[in-house]
Structure 1
Amino acid sequence: MSTSDYQELPGTQAPHDSSVVVDKSVSLTLGSDSLVIIAPSSLLAVYNPLDVTVRCTGSNRVSRAESKSNTTHAISLYNVLDAEVTPSELVITYAVPSSKNDVVVTALRYPVPVKERPAVEAWAQTLLNVAYGNAQQRKRLKVLVNPFGGKGTAASLYQKYAAPIFAAARCHVDVQNTEHRGHAIEIAKNLDINLYDAIVTCSGDGLPYEVFNGLGERPNAREALAKIALAPLPCGSGNGITWNCLGTGSVSVAALAIVKGLRTPLDLISVTQKGTRTLSFLSQSFGIVADCDLGTDNIRWMGAARFTYGFLVRLLSSTIYPCSLSIKTEIGDKKAIKEHYAKFASREFDPALDAPRIAAAQQSPALPDLKYGTVSDDLPTDWEIVPGENIGNFYAGNMAIMTKDTNFFPASLPNDGLMDIVTIDGNIGRATSLKMMNEVSTGGFFGLPDVYIRKATAFRLVPHEKEGYISIDGESVPFEAFQCEIHQGLGTVLTKSGVIYEAEGPK
């Protein structure tokens, strides 16, 4: 029997008394990472018509090995969604691969005699406890669907791929379509935060931006951002937050990851412009990346490929975006940044930290004060002044992956209280620019000599030109001076690890 490619659940171990016999000849045993079923081949075939061996996204696998009399079948505990003893049978519901990129729900059913019900019920509860580990069971989900985002398929994607997963896991689900731009802000601002554990966004990165800002506009903003987790489904063109938190572009696999997701504190960034203050969760860009993002809205039908196309087109023209740039740098050396990442990445997920964080937020429920003031205030004297006359690209990231295959900020961490800032001179040659673009997907971008990387707590950028693009989480903001300041652990998301993003660290 092969047990490779299974998903280990943080903080879980199978109990010593982990076996039960059902239907006289079927043995169910909880392993460290899988449910092992030993049964006569004929019975297993009846109870598991979808018995297959297919690899899905590197972590979900069902395997089978046969002997002369029995068949041994192993189901990853990560895939187990529910276990219930009805008046007549034990039902174990789980996800199996249906294709290279998707999973579907199926079930095992075994008759249970009345006298054996107490023992089987206790075993089924143990199965659920081990299968979910530190993840909350039967989450209460507020699902927001943007029917206009991406290619306009979010509603159908949710119903076909995510809804069956949530139903099988017995999540309590409340679905609502957003009707206009900014509607998710209104919903999050007025949501009863005691009724839900997470807000599921069926979109790209647009609805998450609105949800965080809607929660941030509440009088009890800090409390709401700590209590309600953001759980993204990849139904848009970018889907950066889904790739970071859940490591997939598949709606069904993301739904499974949400069911098993761990509550994770997330740094959020305050962005000030004149009299406004908004919250950012993903990135802030100025220069060629902002142009590629916002200047290609007319070709959204190309999906993520529009960013590549936009980059190549702009590379053939001017790549200088002059500005004044000041950064509150905390770590400016690449070697030290790698060490910082390794230290945080080695930590174990600790669910005990969540309750004190929420309690602290309830004691001081409003948004945190701005330590460095706004963009209209005097510049702090201890900030680093970065020459900006020849800037080709300014990119600040709070997450590692911006779109599929673009691990632009490999040293980024969910909750280290630092944003990663990349600056690139606009006078470098086209060949070097193309090499940089290629190295983003191969993992070599971080180490390139023309790529300057800092970990910082704040920055201020003032454009020198009158027209252009500034992108905050993929959203266009006025082309004027802006200042950003990070707040450690202000928000909450569901992630697979609870500690790091689903991205390879810096090389």
Structure 2
Amino acid sequence: MASSDKLASPISSAGPSEALLDHDSTLRVAKSVSLSLGTDSLLVADERPHKPDRGCCGLLSSKAETNTKNAISLYNVLDAQVNTSDLLITYAAPSKNEEVTVTSLQYAIGDEERTTVEKWVNALLERAYENSLHKKRLKVLINPFGGQGKAVSLYEKYAARVFAAAQCKVDVQTTEYRGQGTEIAEQIDINAYDAIICCSGDGLMFEVLNGLGKRPDARLALAKLAVGLLPGGSGNALTLNEFGTTTNVSVAALGIVKGVRTPLDLMSVSQKDSRVLSFLSQSFGIMADTDIGTDNIRWMGDKRFVYGYLVRLISNATFPCDIAIKVDVSDKKEMKERYAKLASREWDPSADQRRIEEAELSPALPELKYGGVSDEIPADWTVVPGENISTFFAGNMPSMGKDNQFFPAAWADDGFMDIITMDSTIPRLRTLKMMDLVPKGEFFDREDLNYVKASAYRLVPHQKEGYISIDGEEVPFEAFQTEIHQALATILTKTGAVEVPFGP
């Protein structure tokens, strides 16, 4: 499902198709200004005379006075209020640095107009927040140590004003130590907030989801409380999948304000003494070494992953292991057909409430269907030769970072994880060419790419030392088993589906 690019040009000249409007959708203010509700835009037609532009040396140009007609995307409309004597509309307008800035329109109104204006404002807000919740109650956690240590200033400069303009009720807390996000989520009142928002990298989100997962009512908490990420770390993959950006904090803040509650599969990763929830990926081999092994160069941002991968690929590193997978779909044509069917689904406004009601009946975290690493491997699992493994990568969403759409067939709540395995026997030049296709969306169709959709797997390393990465976090280097839990968590997205640059 291609993402809708409502931010690309939220203010533009009104087109002729927008002229087909119901009579009640147009409001006339300030005598010469009309505000009309289009299908996707607020149309502003200002017939008041405007001063001509000044020409060379400050002289008035001969250009005739013109009226203005502009369209503001309803997605960008933050709020509208009828005050004592005026109408105030606030919206997010693009700025030069690809962020958005809070802008407003203000028009005087008389007492005799108030009832009509209030009715029109209600209609505007209903359309602007059609599938979303207005005035969200947000618990915001800021990690001041993540990435390049700029999360606090980024939040205050770009996100705070967007939330304020949208009349969100915000409770901000700065984390002070590693693991505090887990503690906060474990104790939070799930009825006091609509969403937990992390201004950090993916690591704080990992803590929050696992904190919710530790609760006696884990399934209910994960269903009721949506989660969202403002990009404030070196790895901001959730923001990318939610709102299509890894760097623009105000764009992500707008996405949270207008975000549609969207179900997300989670994965349980169990080792001999632990069980954690994973929302993004698990990696072993080159990808894990690239992720965890480059922690000392976080100052490079996203570039550290590219650098780390190339260094390890050139060394032709091998990571022998035992792998067994509960494969559900291995045919790429079938994956494309399944994906197309999911992408064509109509958004069901009642599905979210049904999911919460089901969680209320069974609020605890789901039991492990396939047991743990010490149990027998089920007979219907596929054993994958692992002596020459260079990369094992399992993912839950399409994009792992900017230009890194490793799992193009992934869908947020399809009940499967997508798994890639690669051998060190593949010539390095061929592997490099394959990696070069990832940003172009042509990675999936390579014949030498082992790509399956699965509901569970087990991996047992042969070596005694190395890295295993779960959502970018290091876990003990030992056998681990993962299984999927369909639609267990809730995120916020622009359209009710994750951002997909290409698809399979």
Q: 1:300 aligns with which of 288, 291, 298?
A: 298
The residue that corresponds to 2:228 in the other structure is 231
- 2:319 is the alignment partner of 1:312: no
Q: Structure 1 residue 351: deviation in Å? A: 1.8
Task: Return the letter of the residue paired with 2:139.
Answer: K
Check whether the contact 1:425–1:450 (CA below 8 A) recurs between aligned residues.
no
- Go from structure 1 to structure 2 and tell me whether the alpha carbon gap of 1:4 and 1:137 turns closer, same or farther (over 3 Å shift): closer
SS in 2 for 1:286: strand
Distance 2:352 2:232 in 1: 29
Check whether the contact 1:221–1:366 (CA below 8 A) recurs between aligned residues.
yes
Distance 1:179 1:98 in 2: 33
Check whether the contact 1:414–1:501 (CA below 8 A) recurs between aligned residues.
no
Distance 2:100 2:260 in 1: 20
Distance 1:16 1:302 in 2: 55
Q: 1:477 aligns with which of 475, 478, 481?
A: 475
- 2:359 is the alignment partner of 1:361: yes
Distance 2:399 2:349 in 1: 25
Number of aligned positions between the proteins = 480
State how 1:84-483 maps to structure 2 within 5 Å: 84-249=81-246, 250-483=248-481
What does the per-residue CA deviation read over 1:56-94, in whole Å, with 9 as the maximum and x for residues that have no partner? xxxxxxxxxx99653212111111000000010000000
The residue that corresponds to 2:28 in the other structure is 21
Distance 1:313 1:382 in 2: 37
SS in 2 for 1:351: coil
SS in 1 for 2:346: coil
Check whether the contact 2:141–2:181 (CA below 8 A) recurs between aligned residues.
yes
- Go from structure 1 to structure 2 and tell me whether the alpha carbon gap of 1:44 and 1:299 turns closer, same or farther (over 3 Å shift): farther
Q: Structure 1 residue 338: deviation in Å? A: 1.1
SS in 2 for 1:440: coil
What does the per-residue CA deviation read over 1:207-241, in whole Å, with 9 as the maximum and x for residues that have no partner? 11001000000000000000000011111111011
What does the per-residue CA deviation read over 1:103-125, in whole Å, with 9 as the maximum and x for residues that have no partner? 10011000010011000011011
Check whether the contact 2:51–2:65 (CA below 8 A) recurs between aligned residues.
no
SS in 2 for 1:91: strand
Distance 2:101 2:87 in 1: 20
Distance 2:66 2:153 in 1: 45
The residue that corresponds to 2:3 in the other structure is none
Question: Among the aligned pairs, what percent are the same residue?
Answer: 60
Q: Structure 1 residue 14: deviation in Å? A: 7.5
- Go from structure 1 to structure 2 and tell me whether the alpha carbon gap of 1:223 and 1:15 turns closer, same or farther (over 3 Å shift): farther
Distance 1:44 1:14 in 2: 30
Distance 2:64 2:266 in 1: 55
Task: Return the letter of the residue paired with 1:505.
Answer: G
Task: Return the letter of the residue paired with 1:293.
Answer: D
Task: Return the letter of the residue paired with 1:461.
Answer: L
Distance 1:254 1:321 in 2: 37
Distance 1:350 1:286 in 2: 37
- Go from structure 1 to structure 2 and tell me whether the alpha carbon gap of 1:27 and 1:183 turns closer, same or farther (over 3 Å shift): same
The residue that corresponds to 1:50 in the other structure is none
Check whether the contact 2:50–2:65 (CA below 8 A) recurs between aligned residues.
no
What does the per-residue CA deviation read over 1:240-282, in whole Å, with 9 as the maximum and x for residues that have no partner? 1110111112101110111110000100000000021110000
Check whether the contact 1:413–1:501 (CA below 8 A) recurs between aligned residues.
no
Task: Return the letter of the residue paired with 2:307.
Answer: Y
Distance 2:127 2:395 in 1: 35
- Go from structure 1 to structure 2 and tell me whether the alpha carbon gap of 1:23 and 1:40 turns closer, same or farther (over 3 Å shift): same
Distance 1:34 1:483 in 2: 48
- 2:38 is the alignment partner of 1:31: yes
Task: Return the letter of the residue paired with 1:79.
Answer: N
Distance 1:343 1:406 in 2: 24
Check whether the contact 1:345–1:500 (CA below 8 A) recurs between aligned residues.
no
What does the per-residue CA deviation read over 1:134-179, in whole Å, with 9 as the maximum and x for residues that have no partner? 1111100000000000000000000000000000000000000011
Distance 2:362 2:460 in 1: 33
Check whether the contact 2:321–2:462 (CA below 8 A) recurs between aligned residues.
yes
Task: Return the letter of the residue paired with 1:237.
Answer: S
The residue that corresponds to 1:74 in the other structure is 71
Distance 1:392 1:99 in 2: 42
- Go from structure 1 to structure 2 and tell me whether the alpha carbon gap of 1:31 and 1:4 turns closer, same or farther (over 3 Å shift): farther
- Go from structure 1 to structure 2 and tell me whether the alpha carbon gap of 1:81 and 1:44 turns closer, same or farther (over 3 Å shift): farther
Stretch moving more, 410-419 or 15-24: 15-24
SS in 1 for 2:43: strand
Stretch moving more, 456-465 or 96-105: 96-105
Distance 1:326 1:365 in 2: 31
Task: Return the letter of the residue paired with 1:490.
Answer: L
> Cα RMSD (Å) of the superposition?
1.9
TM-score by length of 2: 0.92
Task: Return the letter of the residue paired with 1:154.
Answer: A
Distance 2:502 2:411 in 1: 11
Task: Return the letter of the residue paired with 1:501.
Answer: E
What does the per-residue CA deviation read over 1:318-341, in whole Å, with 9 as the maximum and x for residues that have no partner? 321111000000000111111111
SS in 1 for 2:363: coil
The residue that corresponds to 1:59 in the other structure is none
- Go from structure 1 to structure 2 and tell me whether the alpha carbon gap of 1:42 and 1:211 turns closer, same or farther (over 3 Å shift): farther
Q: Structure 1 residue 40: deviation in Å? A: 2.5
Distance 2:351 2:23 in 1: 28
- Go from structure 1 to structure 2 and tell me whether the alpha carbon gap of 1:280 and 1:29 turns closer, same or farther (over 3 Å shift): same
Q: Structure 1 residue 295: deviation in Å? A: 0.5
Distance 1:338 1:308 in 2: 28
Task: Return the letter of the residue paired with 1:18.
Answer: S
Task: Return the letter of the residue paired with 1:497.
Answer: T
The residue that corresponds to 1:56 in the other structure is none
Distance 1:137 1:44 in 2: 38
